[in-house]
Structures are given as C-alpha cells and as structure tokens.
Amino acid sequence: MIKPAREYVIATRKSPLAMAQTHLAKELFQRGMPDAVFRIEKMVTTGDKRQEWSLEKQGGKGLFTKELEDALLEGRADFAVHSAKDLPSEMPKGLALAGFLPRQTCEDVLILRDGVESPKLIATGSPRRRIQLRYLFPKAEFTEIRGNVDTRLTKIARGDADATVLASAGLNRLGIESWEGVTFRKLTLDECVPAVGQAAVAIQCREEDVDTFRAHLDEETAIAVNLERSFLEELGGGCQVAFAVNYVGGRLRIYHKQCGKEVRDLPQEYVATHYEQIAAKLIEQLELKDA
C-alpha cells in the first residue's frame, strides 16, 4: 500500500510580496522534501484590513503576524512565512523561529518622483527611516504612506509626495527594476541602516516542529538576524522603534537617536555563539537601555 504524502499547510498574507516570498519558501522546502505536498493558505491580517491606521501610532507590533500565528497554534497551518522585520521580538508561547531563507541585499531604495532631486515631502511611516533621512534631507517634511509596493510607487508617481523609501529586497522579489514616473536611488547601508531582519524571510512554526524545517534553512542568515533581533529583545521594542541594526559581511551597523551611528567589525564565527552577549554588552556600552 502506498503511503500518502505528508501535507504541510503554509500560512501567509495575501499581498504580492508575501506571496512571492511564500513561493520561494515553498520551492526551497519542496526541493528538500520532495515526497511532501505543500499547500498555501492565504490570510488577511489586522494590518492588512486597517489601511487607515498609522503603524507608528498603533505600535506595529503583531499587526501583520497574529492571524498567521493563531493558525499555527490552532493547527490550521504547519508553518508561516513572514518578513522577518515584521516579527515582534517576543514569540507566542508554543511557537518558535525555525530559521530564514537566504537573505537578499539589505539596502533601502529612495523612490523619487521624476524631476525631483531633493525631496521636500517624503512619505514613510517608519521612524527609523525618518530620523536617518533627516541627515540626507534636513529641510524635508514627512507624511504617512500605506499600501502594497505597487500602490506606493503609483502614489509617488502621481505626486502624492516627492519620495518614499522601499526595501531593495522587496523590489527584487517582485521583479520591479523600474516604474513609470519615478526614479530609484539605492541608499548605502551607511546612509540608512536597515531595520532588524530587513531582507530576510522568516519561517515560524510550532516548537515541536523546528527540526523538521530548520535543516533546510540558511545558517548564515540565521546568525545575522539572531544578532539583530537580540538587540530588539534587549531593548524591548517592536518594528516601530526608531532604532536600526544590521549585520552583514562581518560588519555590524547600529543607529539610535541616543548614540547616532556605530559600526563594529565582528567575525561571524564569534557572532554565531555569542549574539545575545554581544547585544547586551553594546547596549550597555552605548547606554541605550533607558534612551
């Protein structure tokens, strides 16, 4: 008698970017588990429903993850695919991070309306981006923007604002290299330090299933994002904290309004086993705990 294939249900948001990332995850696991069947279950999160909300005012915490996590806890899904930067620092009891897909380029991209060189009105709801962009454009004012990537590009092209900022990885995963009415300018990691986990796709599952999925995920990305998330956990913040940390190529970049920008060179081998201690020590040295 032929044994039926094991089916895994993947929980994900419905947005084009979420779906692109989910298909990447599905393809990766399908290669590693060729006898299994993977089924995608699309879900709508609170953050998707409430487009009128300001993420900064609402706090952002869990707005794009709770419904997916509920599906895991209730057994309606086996793993969830998230943008790592959307994941709160605290994990619901019974759930765990299995790991991450290979990370793409981490930089932000400044989206400028055609003809604009120095934007006067920049649309971004991210405190992290706002505070760093003020160094590049000290006379600029800021406004909120919501919506999918194509919606945001269209808003800038039609003149709702002079500019916005999007993650390079998201544009790449959607296959967007240009857009009518706007120009793209990639910001360096030193011009705008990325958010914790930016460009990484996270796989979340029930605690007892971690080993099933972790074996197929990317160790180098896990080392980097574990270090970045350790800072967020120490500071007790979510994705709407005006704080940025990025570890790539052996270099740790930190931005915080208290200390400005800090750079440390740290070997990956050391980070892999000491990421929690590194975060705690630097937060103490830079006096960020009560900032």
The token duo for 103 is 């990370």
E strands, the chain, are: 7-13, 37-43, 79-83, 95-100, 108-113, 121-123, 141-143, 163-167, 182-186, 201-206, 243-248, 251-256, 260-265
User: For residues 168 and 176, what is the distance between their CA atoms, to the nearest angstrom?
Assistant: 10
Say if residue 215 is exposed, middle or buried (CB neighbours under 10 Å; 0-12, 13-18, 19+): exposed
User: For residues 291 and 259, what is the distance between their CA atoms, to the nearest angstrom?
Assistant: 9
Three-state SS for 34? Answer: coil
Amino acid present at 172:
N
Q: CA torsion angle for 13, 147, 58, 222 (degrees, to 10)?
A: 50
User: For residues 73 and 95, what is the distance between their CA atoms, to the nearest angstrom?
Assistant: 7
Three-state SS for 247? Answer: strand
Q: Is there a catalytic annotation at residue 86?
A: yes
Catalytic pick from 48, 70, 78, 86?
Answer: 86
Report, as residue numbers or ranges, the catalytic residues: 86
